[in-house]
Amino acid sequence: RPAAHARRGTTGKCLAVLPFTSVGAAEAAGPHDEAFARGLAETLSVGLARVPQLHLIPPLYATQLMGADADLRTAARKIGAHLVLSGAVLRAGERLRVSYSLIEPRRGEQLAADSLDGSAADLFALEDALLASVVRSLRIEAAERVRPAAVALGPASHEQYLQALGYLQRIDNEASVDGGIRLLEGLLAAEGDTALVHAALGRAYLRKYYLRMEPDWKAKAEASCRMALALDPHSADVVATLGRLHFESGHHAEAVEATQRSLELRPDDPEALILLSRIYESEGKFAEAERAAQQAVALRPDYWRAHDRLALVYFRQGRYDRSTQPWRKVIELTPDNAHGHCNLGAAYFQLGRFDDAVAEYRRSLEVLPNSTAYLGMGTVLFFQGRQADALAMYEKSVALTPRDARSWGNLADAQRWTPGLEAKSVESFDRAIALMREHLAGNPKDAEGWSRLAKWLAKRGWASESLEAIRRALELAPRNANSVARAITVYHLAGERERALEHLEAAVQAGYGMVELQGDPELEELRKDPRGRAVLMEGEARQARMEPAGMEEE
């Protein structure tokens, strides 16, 4: 039966597609049925992404951003969705019934709904009918001409492909990602090379890499993406995935080229602009990074990740006060965003607002225990002289992310200044160094990584290696305030006081936070130096003259 059409057009609206659910007798439903339902929503969102003048949030991002919020109005507001599409799949043998609802969440009004019947033996026809029905409901001019992408798989293989896509929506669950990989690898063995399967495998392998941080998965992801592009050079999703891979591998020129190509294929994709900003920032090209972030904000002013990216560009330049406004916007858009509270806490710490920083880190941890908030809380406690409490926070960070070099490096620092833990500090530094070297082997253009490594090497007493590492960091991103500040410690511990003082002055000029420069016990001797004391006094005066960031829309 025909869909109940929306009573008004949805041009320019943002539509969030939620994962479809499997309904029916509980004993009859299994994980494959749930995965199939989620996969069907994923392929529907691919078709809807081609609808003119519609901003789409696919199921993967919708679930990530909404979290566990059961209230649709609140959840939709968190991600900036004007419309929400939900659906369910009922299966009885080979027969399928797919039902959906198009909802305006602010008023809780159902704008359209439909139920479609089909067969597992002819999934293509069912997908065509579902896309056509939803497109009619949206009532967007020219949307009726949108057609599904061709799928070169047999019926049984296509069902397996949809199940794989469903498993891959759970990117936080390694077992689910592994299930998707097994299904896709099985399809390759059965069907041979197809762009569709290789593209999905590229995304799957990249997600596995993010979970395990093992270089082999990144290599597999790149191989699958390249094969997919050889078979279909016009896939925006594959080009975007390849851009992320190039960035993770330190191939920045190729990353920029791939990301700009993905924007040509899909110009309304804020994620591509966010990635472009990250690439430019990593090279110290802050004007270009800020411009790309501003473009993402202009494209999607209700998308928290765009504001977060803009704030990070400011933060990495030492413009801490400026960064607070877009991070407050992140929290306004997504009040229970652990990431937003954590980053705002970091800005407050650098501004010397310790109580505000602690409050934001606590809010972040209340929403979701996370390694970064534990690191931030530990750093505040350390600079308050509460070493034992700081150690406890760093240990929690390590427990959550045992392969994160930052967690081990911060723990080592706290142990270094705690009597009786000097030997433990050496072990932790060595673990941090090993993990960072492994990371840099796969991404040799990570300036932040080289500067962290340089600082840890210096604290182990390995002067020549630390000097080489900081040289590489500063060559890659000479205007990165964090790298300049870490160079102070590297040169100081290497016995090069003049160069340490030069970088102290450069860090202050770059706007680096005075809290660490004035409180780091490693820099005590430099603070006693007349030149060092004068530089820090100038920095204090500069910070006192800073005006609060404007309240204009970022």
pLDDT confidence of residue 78: 59
pLDDT confidence of residue 47: 83
Cα angle 473-361-335, degrees, rounded to a multiple of 5: 110
pLDDT confidence of residue 80: 64
pLDDT (mean) for 364-376: 90
User: Is 145 or 287 the better-scoring residue by pLDDT?
Assistant: 287
pLDDT confidence of residue 542: 74
Residue 222 pLDDT > 80: yes
pLDDT confidence of residue 549: 34
pLDDT confidence of residue 445: 86
pLDDT (mean) for 374-398: 95
Categorize the per-residue pLDDT at 25 as very low, low, confident or very high, splitting at 50, 70 and 90: very low
pLDDT tens figures, 501-521? 999 999 998 888 899 999 999
Contact 88, 98 (CB under 8 A): yes
Amino acid (one-letter) located at 452: R
Q: Which two tokens stand for residue 331?
A: 């929290």
Q: Is 490 helix (H, G, I), strand (E, B) or coil?
A: helix
Residue 546 pLDDT > 50: yes
Which runs of E-coded beta strand occur in 105-213?
Answer: 109-119
pLDDT (mean) for 251-280: 90
Categorize the per-residue pLDDT at 532 as very low, low, confident or very high, splitting at 50, 70 and 90: very high
Within 8 A by CB and 6+ apart from 554, the residues are: 294, 297, 307, 310, 311, 325, 326, 329
Terminal-residue alpha carbon distance, the chain: 46
Q: Is 187 exposed, middle or buried (0-12, 13-18, 19+ CB in 10 A)?
A: buried
Percent of the chain residues past pLDDT 90, beyond the cut: 46
Residue 12 pLDDT > 70: no
Residue 382 pLDDT > 90: yes
Burial 205-228 (b: 16+ CB within 10 A, else e): bbbbbebebebebbebbbebbebb
What crossing angle do the helices spanning 304-316 and 270-282 adopt, rounded to 10°? 10
pLDDT tens figures, 34-56? 888 988 998 888 888 777 667 78
Q: Which residues sit opposite 86 in a β-bridge?
A: 101
Amino acid (one-letter) located at 87: G
Strands 14-17 and 55-57, bridge-based pairing: parallel
pLDDT (mean) for 386-405: 94
Categorize the per-residue pLDDT at 318 as very low, low, confident or very high, splitting at 50, 70 and 90: confident
pLDDT confidence of residue 105: 84
Contact 403, 211 (CB under 8 A): no
Residue 29 pLDDT > 70: no
pLDDT (mean) for 79-98: 86
pLDDT (mean) for 466-492: 94
Residues in the chain: 554
Q: Is residue 24 left, alpha or beta, with left meaning phi > 0 and alpha meaning psi from -120 to 50?
A: left
Residue 545 pLDDT > 90: no
* pLDDT mean across residues, the chain: 85
Residue 304 pLDDT > 70: yes
Burial 83-106 (b: 16+ CB within 10 A, else e): bbbbbbbbbeeeebbbebbbbbbe
pLDDT (mean) for 452-461: 98
Burial 329-363 (b: 16+ CB within 10 A, else e): bbbebbebbbbbbbbbbbbbbbbbbbebbbebbeb
d(CA 105, CA 195) in angstroms, rounded, equals: 37
Report the range of poorest mean pLDDT among 159-173, 306-320, 379-393, 477-491.
Answer: 159-173
d(CA 313, CA 63) in angstroms, rounded, equals: 26
pLDDT confidence of residue 171: 66
Report the range of poorest mean pLDDT among 168-177, 352-361, 500-509.
Answer: 168-177
Categorize the per-residue pLDDT at 540 as very low, low, confident or very high, splitting at 50, 70 and 90: confident
3 state SS for 300-352: CCCCHHHHHHHHHHHHHCCCHHHHHHHHHHHHHHCCCCHHHHHHHHHHHHHCC
pLDDT (mean) for 149-175: 75
User: Is 282 or 325 the better-scoring residue by pLDDT?
Assistant: 325
Categorize the per-residue pLDDT at 307 as very low, low, confident or very high, splitting at 50, 70 and 90: very high
Residue 344 pLDDT > 50: yes
Residue 6 pLDDT > 60: no
pLDDT confidence of residue 404: 93
Categorize the per-residue pLDDT at 65 as very low, low, confident or very high, splitting at 50, 70 and 90: low
The CA dihedral of 284, 411, 405, 466, to the nearest 10 degrees, is 60
Residue 11 pLDDT > 60: no
pLDDT confidence of residue 337: 77
Categorize the per-residue pLDDT at 30 as very low, low, confident or very high, splitting at 50, 70 and 90: low
Cα angle 179-183-184, degrees, rounded to a multiple of 5: 115
Within 8 A by CB and 6+ apart from 397, the residues are: 371, 372, 374, 375, 378, 404, 407, 410, 411
User: Is 53 or 188 the better-scoring residue by pLDDT?
Assistant: 188
pLDDT tens figures, 492-501? 999 999 999 9
Strands 83-92 and 21-23, bridge-based pairing: parallel
In 3D space, the residue among 85, 411, 439 whose CA is nearest the CA of residue 248 turns out to be 439
Percent of the chain residues past pLDDT 70, beyond the cut: 88
Amino acid (one-letter) located at 473: A
